[in-house]
């Protein structure tokens, strides 16, 4: 059963006014438990509006959203508990840190869930270890930490709630290359350890290509596709027409194919592309 399902989901900003805009237009989608999916689309495509429906931050103008088979908004009394199943990390989450210590900041979400102190402590320690926060920083003020560490604390606060679905909106935004790799590696490790569904919103096609196994593409408020990573990047010409840049390595191998050097595979990561080239060169030298 899909952990997230939408049926003709539509959302309109400014309905009934001259500024009316359809942000999400009749989206039908099923995301299975355990998927690690990238969410891409040009600015204004509707991707941010879409993900805000998954934990009830926005109410559909029409259509439905189901979380674990339960329809959001059917029973407002159930909305809070359903929201705990979907954790949403906004861009620059470190701006939302406010507690006296790192420990208390990570504890904020689990405490709101009504968990006992022993369970809260277990989740904090487990999550801190998962995101690479040492014991030595747990009693420090989060404002004493580096930018990358602050972001780890903010993300850990959502992870500690142990949501069935973790959604991250540009989690590596504004970080240097080393910081980006650390944050994305941390998220990948979280998915591997927990097996929960993760949605990664990013403008970086390289980040998407290296980390996810499925990609959701929004275009002009509509769902263009939701498919395996290789299958989506196989449609590189269509992606480029809608203003999305495919990974540089994909463009290189597409050009090689046009010149008659077809590798026989869709290439979207440097690691895979280099292995193909080495294999091809090895076979030629062996002849």
Q: Could you write out the DSSP letters of every residue in 73-139?
A: TS-HHHHHHHHTTEEEE-SSGGGG--SSSHHHHHHHHHHHTT--HHHHHHHHHHHHHHTT--GGGTT
Looking at residue 264, its pLDDT comes to 64
Looking at residue 155, its pLDDT comes to 95
Does the pTM of the predicted model rise above 0.85? Answer: yes
Q: Could you tell me the fold of the domain covering 2-229?
A: Rossmann fold (3.40.50)
Q: What does DSSP assign to residue 245?
A: P
Looking at residue 234, its pLDDT comes to 83
Give the residue among 166, 170, 246, 168 at the shortest CA–CA distance from 209: 246
Looking at residue 278, its pLDDT comes to 82
Alpha carbon separation from 203 to 8, 170, 216 (Å, rounded): 26, 8, 12
What are the boundaries of each domain within the chain?
A: 2-229, 247-287
Give the mean pLDDT per block of 10 residues along the chain (287 residues).
95 93 97 96 94 95 96 90 92 92 96 96 95 93 92 95 96 88 92 94 90 96 95 87 83 80 74 79 60
């Amino acid at each position: 059963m899909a952990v997230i399902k939408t049926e003709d989901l539509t959302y309109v900003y400014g309905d009934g006014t001259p500024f009316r805009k359809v942000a999400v237009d009749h989206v039908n989608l099923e995301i299975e438990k355990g998927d690690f999916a990238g969410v891409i689309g040009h600015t204004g495509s509707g991707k941010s509006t879409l993900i805000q429906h998954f934990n009830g931050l926005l109410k559909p103008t029409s259509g439905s959203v189901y979380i674990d088979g339960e329809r959001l908004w059917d029973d407002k009394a159930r909305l809070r508990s359903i929201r705990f199943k979907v954790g949403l990390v906004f861009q620059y989450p470190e701006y939302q840190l406010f507690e006296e210590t790192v420990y208390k900041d990570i504890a904020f979400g689990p405490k709101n869930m009504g968990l006992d102190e022993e369970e809260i402590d277990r989740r904090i320690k487990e999550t801190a270890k998962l995101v690479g926060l040492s014991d030595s920083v747990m009693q420090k003020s989060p404002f004493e930490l580096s930018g990358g560490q602050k972001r780890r604390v903010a993300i850990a606060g959502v992870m500690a709630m142990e949501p069935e679905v973790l959604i991250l909106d540009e989690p590596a935004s504004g970080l240097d290359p080393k910081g980006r790799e650390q944050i994305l590696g941390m998220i990948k490790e979280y998915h591997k350890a927990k097996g929960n569904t993760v949605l990664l919103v990013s403008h970086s096609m390289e980040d998407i290509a290296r980390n996810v196994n499925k990609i959701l593409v929004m275009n002009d408020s509509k769902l263009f596709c939701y498919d395996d990573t290789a299958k989506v990047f196989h449609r590189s010409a269509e992606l480029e027409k809608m203003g999305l840049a495919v990974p540089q390595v994909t463009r290189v191998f597409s050009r090689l194919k046009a010149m008659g050097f077809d590798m026989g595979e869709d290439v979207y990561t440097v690691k895979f592309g280099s292995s193909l080239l080495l294999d091809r060169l090895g076979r030629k030298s062996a002849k």
